[in-house]
Structure 1
Amino acid sequence: MADDVDFADERIEKELASALAARVVYRGESAHECECGAEISEGRRAAVPGVQDCITCAEQSALKLRGVRRG
Structure 2
Amino acid sequence: MVCPFDRAQALEQRQRDQAIAAQLAQARPSGPSLTHCEDCDNPIPEKRQALGGITRCVPCQTVVEQGQRR
TM-score by length of 2: 0.65
Match of 1:57 in 2: 60
Q: Is 1:30 the counterpart of 2:42 in the alignment?
A: no
Off by >3 Å, runs of 4+ in structure 1: none
CA–CA distance in structure 1, aligned partners of residues 25 and 53 of structure 2: 18
Q: Is 1:42 the counterpart of 2:20 in the alignment?
A: no
CA–CA distance in structure 2, aligned partners of residues 49 and 33 of structure 1: 13
User: Percent of aligned positions with the same letter in both sequences?
Assistant: 23
The amino acid of 1:38's aligned partner reads N
CA–CA distance in structure 2, aligned partners of residues 7 and 44 of structure 1: 35
How far is the alpha carbon of 1:21 from its aligned partner? 3.8
Where do 5+ consecutive residues of structure 2 fail to align? none
Q: Structure 1 residues 40 and 57, CA, compared in 2 at 3 Å: closer, same or farther?
A: same
Which structure has the larger Rg? 2
Q: Structure 1 residues 65 and 18, CA, compared in 2 at 3 Å: closer, same or farther?
A: farther
How far is the alpha carbon of 1:41 from its aligned partner? 2.1
Q: Provide the aligned C-alpha RMSD in A.
A: 2.4
TM-score by length of 1: 0.64
